[in-house]
Amino acid sequence: MRALASMLLFVLVLVAFEAALSLAPWHEGAMAAAGAPAVEATAAQPGAPKLTVADYPRYRGFNSRLTVWIAAQLHLFFAAFVLGVPIFVLVIEFIGWRNGDPRYDRMAHEFIKISMGAFSLTATSGGILVFALAVFYPGLFAYLTRIFGPVMMLYALLFLAETACLYAYYYGWDSMQGRRKPGHLLLGLALNVVGTLLMGLSNSWATFMMAPSGVDSQGVFAGNVWVAVAGPLWTPLNVHRFLANIAYGGAIVGAYAAYKFIAARASEAKAHYDWMGHTANGIAVVAMLPLPFAGYWMTKEIYAYSQQMGITLMGGVFAWLFIIQAVLIGTIFLAANFYLWCGMARLDGANRTAHLVKYIAGVLVICFLVWFTPHTLVMTARELATIGGAYHPVLGPLGVMSAKNTAVNIMILATFFTYQLFRRSMVHSTRPWMARASRFQVALYVAAVANIIWLGVYGYFVPANIRIGLSVPQVMTTLLVIIVCIVVDEVIASRSKRIGAVHWGRMPARAQYALFTLAVAFTWLMGLMGYIRSSIRQHWHVYTVMRDGSVDAFTPTIGHATAIVSVCTLLFLALILFVFWLSGLSRAREAPAGLAEAGATP
């Protein structure tokens, strides 16, 4: 208790600091200041301004780059969370409405409540980011607003719309039940559409800085904003972030459920939060499954845009960070799987399948080792001599993308298989066709794994640009298995009798730490990847068009960068803990009101 109190105190100080900053007059106006007069001064130059050190204001006690970096990262964390949650909240609400089970509705409401708490922090951090950018990087800010001015205005409008939708959706939850539910669902849909548009617009600024389009080599803007928005990296980044945000939202609310589970005394509350944690973990896993594919697609587009950028990303100094990325992604997979394994304890019928866990663990570990075997091995001169060159005959082939894709697809299948075991343990197949269907599923798995491995091996015999394309059939195989298995399972489940109930709440506390791990690893991963993405521009503000003339136009060392990412992660986690605590407060206050718990958090 003492520890929690001191932690909260720490978080409070931080938030007070942030709030003080956000009270400044520019907070509300900053977004709208996009086309402000200050900008006009540089507009006289036709192309991108050529900046020198003198063009960057410096303030004692502030490192410009660090300030913008941390502000941007915190804003991205919150924004990703706030955009991701409503997507699955809407889905859960919809399911609850269709099957008439009020527990779904309650869970969806509780999820959105957490994201409400985070919403104001999203706005605050966004304000800080815009302010920091305008103050520390006025030249870049002016250039970007010159091109994206109209888009930024639209962004501000959409932000207002997002706020309106979110508040209406959240506060209207209890009054729009029953016959008015469809209206509420439509409201949720509007919220998500606006949110996704919002994300797309802000992504365009980031992708423009990496792969500028709509301007010539001197940075002269041709006048069409849409061309500048829809640059070569825009769509891949949108897709990857859209999916990652859902997974991220799931991971964070999973941590919330875990926190509540551990704190809960009553077995009823434990059961509720156990179910919530299970759902959140499921959301994170399902949204994560297509991510590797989206990630490689983005990388491919980066490569296609500029070989230099691609090599910097995958082969150069950042290769080390990709090892960390691989380890983090592996951690996510392991944590999610561990949680699923522990979840078998909730079932009476699970003993039939529990012995399979060790094989799943074995497959996971092999795939994981392949997944993080680096492309460039670190070795001593003696090792170099015994190996007979920098190229390792066994590990070398594991370093390239064919092997990684193969490993990750099998890892996904293994994870899904665990999930499927859990669901299948609940039903007892009685008819012969069901046994046949199960055998068909096993055959499907075997065929899929064989196909994935075959495609992976085949990849070594074709040129690099075709090899990357092979990841498409691999992913399609995986998705096919998942979809077919879900359909078959649904059919079987609907026609057979359930054996034993699911004992929600019968879950060891240590499994909850897997959910925490998931949230921390996701946050860290996001910070790291965002850093990598923006720093492969190297000394450019806008790649090949506008140079960074500031004293910070160098790539920081890996140690420094990861330290900053860790600071951002800690800051975010402290703030989100505060949000959890806040939503707990309102709940305690309104406890007697039962289901009517609206009107709580800001």
Which residues would be at the binding site for another protein (CB under 8 A)? 300, 303-304, 306-309, 311-312, 315-317, 319-320, 327, 330, 334, 337-338, 341-342, 344-345, 354, 357-358, 361, 364-365, 368-369, 372-397, 399-400, 460, 463-465, 508, 510, 544
Closer by beta carbon to another protein, 365 or else 487: 365
Spatial CB neighbours of 210, under 8 Å, sequence gap ≥ 6: 233, 302, 305, 309, 533, 534, 536, 537, 543
Helices (H), 100-180: 102-136, 138-171
Smallest distance from the beta carbon of 530 to ligand HEM, in angstroms?
4
Query: Mapping DSSP to helix (H, G, I), strand (E, B) and coil, where does residue 438 land?
Result: helix
Closer by beta carbon to another protein, 59 or else 460: 460
Closer by beta carbon to ligand HEM, 123 or else 246: 246
Could you give the CA distance from residue 364 to residue 373 in angstroms, rounded to a whole number? 14
Asked if residues 81 and 248 have their Cβ atoms less than 8 Å apart, the reply is yes
Query: Where are the strands (E) in 327-387, listed by range?
Result: none
Q: Which residue is nearest to ligand HEM (CB)?
A: 295
Closer by beta carbon to ligand HEM, 330 or else 549: 330
One residue of 119, 143, 173, 248 binding ligand HEM per CB under 6 A: 248
Asked if residues 318 and 532 have their Cβ atoms less than 8 Å apart, the reply is yes
Closer by beta carbon to another protein, 387 or else 488: 387
Query: Where are the strands (E) in 408-567, listed by range?
Result: 427-428, 497-498, 540-542, 546-547
**Closest to 305 (Cα-Cα) out of 485, 537, 82:** 537
Torsion angle in degrees (nearest 10) through CA of 210, 145, 214, 48: -80
Radius of gyration of the chain (CA): 25
Residue 317 binding target from ligand HEM, another protein, none, CB below 5 to 8 Å by type: another protein
One residue of 298, 481, 492, 561 binding ligand HEM per CB under 6 A: 298
Closer by beta carbon to another protein, 303 or else 578: 303
Residue 292 binding target from another protein, ligand HEM, none, CB below 5 to 8 Å by type: ligand HEM
Smallest distance from the beta carbon of 305 to another protein, in angstroms?
8
Q: Does 368 bind ligand HEM (CB under 6 A)?
A: no
Closer by beta carbon to ligand HEM, 137 or else 522: 522
Give the binding range for ligand HEM (CB under 6 A) out of 1-9, 110-118, 178-186, 244-252.
Answer: 244-252
One residue of 65, 113, 184, 240 binding ligand HEM per CB under 6 A: 240
Asked if residues 448 and 478 have their Cβ atoms less than 8 Å apart, the reply is yes
Q: Does 249 bind ligand HEM (CB under 6 A)?
A: no
Closer by beta carbon to another protein, 502 or else 576: 502
Phi, psi torsion values for 391, nearest 5 degrees:
-100, 120
- Please name the amino acid found at residue 173: W
How far is residue 222 from each of residues 51, 218, 219, measured CA to CA in Å? 21, 11, 9
Phi, psi torsion values for 540, nearest 5 degrees:
-110, 140
Smallest distance from the beta carbon of 514 to another protein, in angstroms?
8
- 10 Å CB burial of residue 247 (0-12, 13-18, 19+) is buried
Q: Does 502 bind ligand HEM (CB under 6 A)?
A: no
Among positions 505-544, residues that touch ligand HEM (CB under 6 A) are: 522, 525-526, 529-530, 532-533
Beta-strand relationship, 497-498 and 546-547: unpaired
How far is residue 242 from each of residues 47, 84, 88, 269, measured CA to CA in Å? 33, 8, 12, 32
Q: Does 241 bind ligand HEM (CB under 6 A)?
A: yes
Residue 376 binding target from ligand HEM, another protein, none, CB below 5 to 8 Å by type: another protein
Smallest distance from the beta carbon of 470 to ligand HEM, in angstroms?
15
Smallest distance from the beta carbon of 284 to ligand HEM, in angstroms?
9
How far is residue 291 from each of residues 213, 245, 295, measured CA to CA in Å? 26, 11, 6
For residue 498, list its beta bridge partners. Answer: 427
Q: What angle do CA 103, 108, 110 make, to 5 degrees?
A: 95
One residue of 107, 244, 271, 347 binding ligand HEM per CB under 6 A: 244
Rounded to the nearest angstrom, the gap between the alpha carbon of residue 423 and the centroid of all alpha carbons in its chain is 26
One residue of 42, 73, 202, 245 binding ligand HEM per CB under 6 A: 245
Smallest distance from the beta carbon of 510 to another protein, in angstroms?
6
- 10 Å CB burial of residue 76 (0-12, 13-18, 19+) is buried
Closer by beta carbon to ligand HEM, 39 or else 133: 133
Closer by beta carbon to another protein, 34 or else 468: 468
Residue 76 binding target from another protein, ligand HEM, none, CB below 5 to 8 Å by type: ligand HEM
Residues at the interface with ligand HEM (CB under 6 A): 76, 80, 240-241, 244-245, 248, 288, 291-292, 295-296, 298-299, 329, 332, 522, 525-526, 529-530, 532-533
